[in-house]
Structure 1
């Protein structure tokens, strides 16, 4: 093969190699860009899910607190009703006791 043809083939091969390298670099840059975009999308989705989970947990905690609060209030109301009933039954005894003491004091003075 003559020398000019060999040189031409070498130049052609180098040009092809340069084209292949340039195409590979473009593809690499595109893949990196796509990967970064996907990573950003995943991060945004994760933040959104975390935010939603936080809201759900807060809502659940508020519901639990409200239920506990209602239970405590109900217990307090039940205890108050018991105390009122007990106090009312003691009122009669206290009145009787006071009347007896008063009568004793009156009789003692006479």
Structure 2
């Protein structure tokens, strides 16, 4: 065989190898995106759910206790899905949205449910 033919075959082999690598990375990225989308809670939905669950007036939030299954369920989903700093920030934002006076006390009570 001539050198040009050998070079051409090498190029073809490299192209084929490169194409196979790209296909495998695409498949892996699709799998990862499916896994990430299987998490059905986002920070925004968790925030909205917390606001909807809280029963409050100007002074305090009343339904922060372990017997409130809905609240505990949302908090546990958040804890499984997100980092602690994101969970804490979301809880703080939801409490801030209620505009109660004792925000720090309410945060400590809600965060204690996670422990």
How would you bin the TM-score normalised by the shorter chain? 0.3 to 0.5
Q: Which has the larger radius of gyration?
A: 1
| Highest RCO, 1 vs 2 (Cα 8 Å, sep ≥ 6) | 2
Normalised to the residue count of structure 1, the TM-score between the two structures is: 0.44
Normalised to the residue count of structure 2, the TM-score between the two structures is: 0.42
Q: Which has the higher helix share?
A: 1
